[in-house]
Amino acid sequence: MHLSDLWFIAIAVLWAGYFVLEGFDFGVGILLPVLGRDDRERRVMINTIGPVWDGNEVWLLTAGGATFAAFPGWYAAMFSAYYLPLLIVLIALILRGVAFEYRGKREGARWRLGWDGALFAGSLIPAIVWGVAFGNVLRGIPLNAAHNYAGNFLTLLNPYALLGGLTTLALFTLHGAVFLALKTTGDLRRRANALSWKLGAVAVAAGGGFLAWTEASYRAPGHTGATGAASVALAAAAAVALIIAVLASRAGREGAAFAGNAAAIAAATGALFTALYPRVLPSTLTAVGTLTTANASSTAKTLAVMTVVAAIFLPFVLLYQGWTYWVFRRRIGAGPAVASPGAAAVPSRPAAPDVAPEVGS
């Protein structure tokens, strides 16, 4: 195995990690207007992901950075081809990131509703766009011999890729619902569980259709051997894990439901990457336009440096991120407020007009 193959796997793992982690915090954002009936419930929802969303988003930055470092040709072609979709994602992520921090910084229903809207849109848009983007990676985009994009924005809006967008949207929303069921109490928890069942049905239909379409039409030609079989196996595993997740949620086994859906997202991402291999960005125009792990990669030297750095530091990242989830493992109640030190704007605490409520630190 070449180091470039190892880094192809590493990038697949980074995207899988990103989708598993940010998937649920996108889902929580998307469900904000659906499950959050009042400001207090919405605050509870936001605070379930408050300590972790930023760390989750770094998986995207690491995937992007790793793609740049390990496959500059892929990074350059894909990011410039996806110019407008990425701009839309960037705007969404900017609004969303700011919304977390600024929502509680002022009193007033309009201020909060505005940021709630930003959180919703900022979660919804990337949840769709990432699926559309990956659909187009699998399907191929019109790249010329110089690996420059020869299509336009509408080229990307084909039925297969749009089904990909629906798949990520459904999977992430479901992920958010099972996460909320796991992290909240009372009525909110009950409603999240009830919704999981319906979302599960959509996710199974969309995800099943998308993966079947991928395996039937967009697997790398000429690679029907080991990687082809692996891709089919991963797609099947994703389907099974998803169904288990939905059934577990139905049975009130919230931990199993979340783990099952996380496994489904990871396996589905794996199925897409194995179907793609050894290509990284196929061209629909010309064979020489297709980027592969061989013609898009960095030198063995750069890959070796990156491998050493990742091998040393990734375990630490996993350890301290895991620790964060452990520290904040408890459920968050939506019941009557009990003010904790440093808690924000608790209604029972009267605030002098010009004294801001204590928020954020």
By CB under 8 A, tell whether 216 contacts other proteins.
no
| Sole binder of other proteins in the list 24, 149, 218, 258 (CB under 8 A) | 149
Is the Cβ of residue 101 or residue 187 nearer to other proteins in the bound state? 101
CA distance 161 to 329: 36
The interface region with other proteins, picked from 39-47, 164-172, 252-260, 273-281 by CB under 8 A, is 39-47
The phi, psi pair for 332, rounded to 5°, reads -110, 125
Q: Would you list the DSSP string of 55-115?
A: HHHHHHHHHHHHHHHH-HHHHHHHHHHTHHHHHHHHHHHHHHHHHHHHGGGS--HHHHHHH
Which residues inside 282-311 make contact with other proteins, applying CB under 8 A?
A: 298-299, 301-302, 305-306, 309-310
Size of the site for other proteins (CB under 8 A): 88
Asked whether 359 and 105 are in contact (CB, 8 A), the reply is: yes
Q: Which residue shows structure tokens 């207007």?
A: 33
**Strands, DSSP E only, in the chain?**
279-281, 291-292
By CB under 8 A, tell whether 25 contacts other proteins.
no
By CB under 8 A, tell whether 121 contacts other proteins.
no
CA distance 184 to 180: 6
Q: How many CA atoms lie within 13 A of 115 on its CB side?
A: 19
| Sole binder of other proteins in the list 16, 21, 30, 44 (CB under 8 A) | 44
By CB under 8 A, tell whether 110 contacts other proteins.
no
Closest contact distance (angstroms) between CB of 192 and other proteins is: 17
Closest contact distance (angstroms) between CB of 185 and other proteins is: 9
By CB under 8 A, tell whether 103 contacts other proteins.
yes
Which residues inside 55-74 make contact with other proteins, applying CB under 8 A?
A: 55, 57-58, 60-62, 64-66, 68-70, 72-73
By CB under 8 A, tell whether 148 contacts other proteins.
yes
CA distance 76 to 67: 9
| Sole binder of other proteins in the list 342, 348, 350, 353 (CB under 8 A) | 342
Closest contact distance (angstroms) between CB of 245 and other proteins is: 26
